[in-house]
């Protein structure tokens, strides 16, 4: 596999705060990556570093094999419309789409027009007068129709309703099928995009704490539910990711079970259920704090 | 996959086009206001003259029409254009994957083109003004003495003023983009100290006669030619600031 992004020991400090802290990872070509994490975890800073908007304090970044900072050759192959993207004064969506064609070598104007209709973006209204969701839709359309070999979507759904979000996911997958490219999608709505993602990067407090294929993660944990005593007996020898309980019942999250273990659990009268990607990430980003505060 | 484009495409002209993508703000609107000002000013002049019966008083009044500052609107407006072309266009162009260098070059070229366009426009109006005896009422909006005596002189003076306003405005906008209000405040305090210091220095060495003599010697066009040096410094300074600027929310 070819890496389009290689990051090694990357740190970005703002005063004493490290917004990105010693991050090392790769982004493989033509895959959809989820960059997940809580507010202020460092997602936007990381994407700005990858697109040369932000400057590294330490470590190295290679995008298409080169340092992206002030590198026209690299940057012309990227598209990064931020969630809070500023648009030029008095621009209307039609100006945005018209000008995008001058910057993205693979821009597809017909596709953009089609998407504008589907997302119901008024072409001749000032950006300033659009609703939050319509502004987000403009960003989504630019991201999709640019067909940049490395495309970033930074929380693209802000203000988009459920229908529009589903439309975004559908169009993204469809177009990705026809024009494979590397996509990095940062989002809070982990369950919604769970099926879209091929690889997951979780950033917490500036550090990359998970870097794994989405399939591995999805099967990596199980909830064991049943009478507290039976559950505790079953999980005694395992690493417990999370523990919940009401009265005499317990629900415990443990690492994936072998088929033999599954049948042992079943015969002990325990219920097993898969852990969603979102639950798993919540467990992994909050357990740490509980340990620290304990 | 989407083909990776290896050869760098020219990104400077697209940046120029980007600035012109919506001509309303930078071309249509300023001309509408400028021409409205022109028409209103002429009407006011005519009204005033219509109410003065004595020919001697009329002649004196016409003299006063020779110094209208209304055309100053367009220069001030272009500072606003300069600020916006950095403040919102830079973060937008960054999202399009434009390097700071290409953005600065394209924006500089855009400023030069816009300055040329407006100075030609104003010079043409000044020629019409001369030919019609000051719009029939002896008024001056564009052929005012401080813009120069002949059309070529005016063309140069207009151009130099536009260039100065564009590059100074954009340099200040770049400072704001990078350091926000703190940067702007610091900059203007420093500038105020510098200017007061210069005035104090000239006063202290009793050099005002010298300064006056220098301007007289250098002449109007020569003085404005020196302003191009200030504009060039502002352009370089603005780029130096922008080079380490990250668009923020």
The residue-averaged pLDDT of B128-153 equals 90
Torsion over CA: A126, A127, A133, A134 (sign) = positive
Stretch among A46-50, A81-85, A131-135, B20-24 having the lowest mean pLDDT: A81-85
Mean pLDDT, chain A, integer: 92
Q: How far apart are CA B34 and CA A278, in angstroms?
A: 59
Q: Any idea which of A203-212, B68-77, B211-220 has the lowest mean pLDDT?
A: B68-77
Rounded to the nearest angstrom, the minimum Cα separation between A101 and chain B is 9
Test mutation, B7, B11, B15, B22, chain A, max A CBs within 10 A:
B22
What domains does chain A contain, in order, with CATH numbers?
3-216 (3.40.50.300), 220-274 (3.30.70)
List chain B domain ranges: 12-23+69-132+146-242
Angle at the Cα of A26 from the Cα atoms of A21 and A32, rounded to 5 degrees: 110
Contacts of A98 in chain B (CB under 8 A): 21
H or E element, residue A160 = none
Q: State residue B105's pLDDT score.
A: 97
**Is the model's pLDDT at A179 over the cut of 50?**
yes
Give me the phi and psi of A191, to 5 degrees please: -65, -35
> B8 — contact with chain A (CB < 8 Å)?
yes
What DSSP letter does each residue of B54-82 carry, written as one string?
-HHHHHHHHHHTT---TTHHHHHHHHHHH
Q: How crowded is the C-beta side of A282, counted as CA atoms within 13 Å?
A: 12
Across A108-112, A246-250, B59-63, B171-175, least confident range: B59-63
Among candidates A29, A53, A95 on the partner chain, residue whose Cβ is nearest the Cβ of B247:
A53
Is any Cβ of chain A less than 8 angstroms from the Cβ of B4? Answer: yes
Q: How much of chain A, in percent, has pLDDT values that exceed 90? A: 68
Q: What is the pLDDT, as a whole number, of residue B166?
A: 97
Give the burial string for A8-40 (b: 16+ CB within 10 Å, else e).
eebbbeeeeebbbbebebebebbbbbbbbbbee
* Strand pairing category for A150-154 and A78-81: parallel
For residue range A238-283, what is the model confidence (pLDDT) as tens digits? 888 888 888 889 999 888 888 888 888 888 889 998 888 888 888 8
A214: which 2 tokens?
Answer: 């989405």
Of A30, A64, A89, Cβ closest to residue B88: A89
Which is it for strands A199-204 and A207-213: parallel, antiparallel or unpaired?
Answer: antiparallel
**Per-residue pLDDT at A288 exceeds 60:** no
**In the predicted model, what is the mean pLDDT of residues B171-190?**
96
Question: What does pTM read for this prediction?
Answer: 0.91
- Kindly indicate the confidence band of residue A289, based on its pLDDT and cuts at 50, 70 and 90: low
| CA–CA separation, A204 and A188 (whole Å) | 13
Q: What's the ipTM?
A: 0.89
Whether residue B18 and residue A48 make contact (CB cut-off 8 A), yes or no, is no
Q: At a CB cut-off of 8 Å and minimum separation 6, what does A233 contact?
A: A268
- Residue A294 scores a pLDDT above 50: no
pLDDT at B2 over 80: no
Q: B99, A92: Cβ pair inside 8 Å?
A: no
Residues in chain B within 8 Å Cβ distance of A64: 4
Q: Which segments of chain A are extended strands (E)?
A: 3-14, 17-28, 32-36, 58-63, 78-81, 150-154, 182-187, 199-204, 207-213, 221-227, 240-246, 249-255, 271-274
**Is the pLDDT higher at A237 or at A172?**
A172
To the nearest whole Å, the CA of B12 is away from the closest chain A CA by 10
A76·B24 Cβ contact <8 A: no
- A87 and B88: CB-CB below 8 Å? yes
B235 CA to chain A: closest CA distance, Å? 19
Cβ <8 Å between B18 and A99? yes
Quote the percentage of chain A above a pLDDT of 70: 97
- Pick from B74, B81, B72, B86: which is nearest to B25 by CA? B81
**Is the per-residue pLDDT at B15 higher than 90?**
yes
- Residues B64-87 have pLDDT tens digits of 787 777 788 899 999 999 999 999
Lowest mean pLDDT among A106-115, A217-226, B99-108, B170-179: A217-226
Based on the number of CB atoms within 10 Å of its own CB, is B217 exposed (0-12), middle (13-18) or buried (19 or more)? exposed
- Asked if pLDDT for residue A193 goes beyond 50, the answer is yes
């Amino acid at each position: 596999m070819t890496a389009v992004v290689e990051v090694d020991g990357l740190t970005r400090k703002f005063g004493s705060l490290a917004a990105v802290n010693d991050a090392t990872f790769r982004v493989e070509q033509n895959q959809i990556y989820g960059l997940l994490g809580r507010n202020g975890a460092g997602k936007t800073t990381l994407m700005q570093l990858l697109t040369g908007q932000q400057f590294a304090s330490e470590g190295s970044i290679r995008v298409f094999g080169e340092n992206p900072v002030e590198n026209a050759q690299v940057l012309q192959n990227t598209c990064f419309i931020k969630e809070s993207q500023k648009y030029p004064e008095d621009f209307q969506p039609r100006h945005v789409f018209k000008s995008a064609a001058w910057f993205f070598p693979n821009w597809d104007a017909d596709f953009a027009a089609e998407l504008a209709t589907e997302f119901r973006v008024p072409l001749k209204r000032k950006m300033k007068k659009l609703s939050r969701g319509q502004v987000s839709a403009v960003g989504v359309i630019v991201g999709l129709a640019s067909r940049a070999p490395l495309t970033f979507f930074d929380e693209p759904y802000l203000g988009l309703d459920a229908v529009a979000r589903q439309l975004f996911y559908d169009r993204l997958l469809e177009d990705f099928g026809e024009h494979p490219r590397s996509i990095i999608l940062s989002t809070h709505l982990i369950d919604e995009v769970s099926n879209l993602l091929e690889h997951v990067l979780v950033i917490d407090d500036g550090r990359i704490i998970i870097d794994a294929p989405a399939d591995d993660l999805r099967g990596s944990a199980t909830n064991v539910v049943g009478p507290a005593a039976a559950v505790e007996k079953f999980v005694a020898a395992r690493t417990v990711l999370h523990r919940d309980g009401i009265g005499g019942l317990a629900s415990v999250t443990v690492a994936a079970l072998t088929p033999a273990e599954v049948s042992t659990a079943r015969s002990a009268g325990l219920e097993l259920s898969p852990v969603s990607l979102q639950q798993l990430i919540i467990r992994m980003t909050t357990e740490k704090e509980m340990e620290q505060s304990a | 996959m989407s083909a990776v484009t290896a050869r760098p495409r020219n990104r400077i002209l697209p940046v120029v086009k980007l600035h012109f993508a919506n001509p309303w703000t930078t071309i249509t609107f300023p001309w509408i206001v400028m021409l409205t000002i022109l028409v209103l000013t002429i009407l006011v002049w005519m009204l005033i003259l219509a109410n003065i019966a004595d020919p001697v008083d009329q002649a004196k009044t016409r003299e006063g029409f020779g110094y209208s500052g209304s055309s100053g609107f367009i220069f001030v407006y272009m500072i606003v254009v300069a600020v916006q072309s950095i403040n919102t266009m830079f973060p937008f162009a960054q999202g399009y994957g434009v390097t700071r260098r290409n953005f600065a070059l394209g924006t500089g070229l855009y400023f030069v083109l816009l300055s040329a366009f407006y100075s030609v426009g104003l010079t043409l109006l000044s020629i019409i003004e001369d030919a019609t005896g000051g719009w029939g009422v002896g008024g001056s909006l564009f052929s005012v003495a401080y813009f120069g005596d002949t059309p070529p002189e005016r063309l140069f003076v207009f151009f130099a003023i536009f260039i100065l306003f564009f590059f100074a405005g954009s340099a200040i906008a770049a400072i704001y983009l990078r350091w926000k209000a703190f940067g702007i405040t610091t900059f203007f305090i420093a500038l105020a100290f510098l200017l007061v210091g210069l005035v104090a220095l000239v006063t202290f060495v009793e050099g005002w006669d010298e300064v006056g003599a220098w301007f007289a010697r250098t002449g109007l066009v020569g003085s404005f030619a020196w302003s191009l040096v200030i504009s060039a410094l502002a352009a370089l300074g603005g780029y130096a600031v922008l080079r380490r600027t990250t668009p923020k929310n």
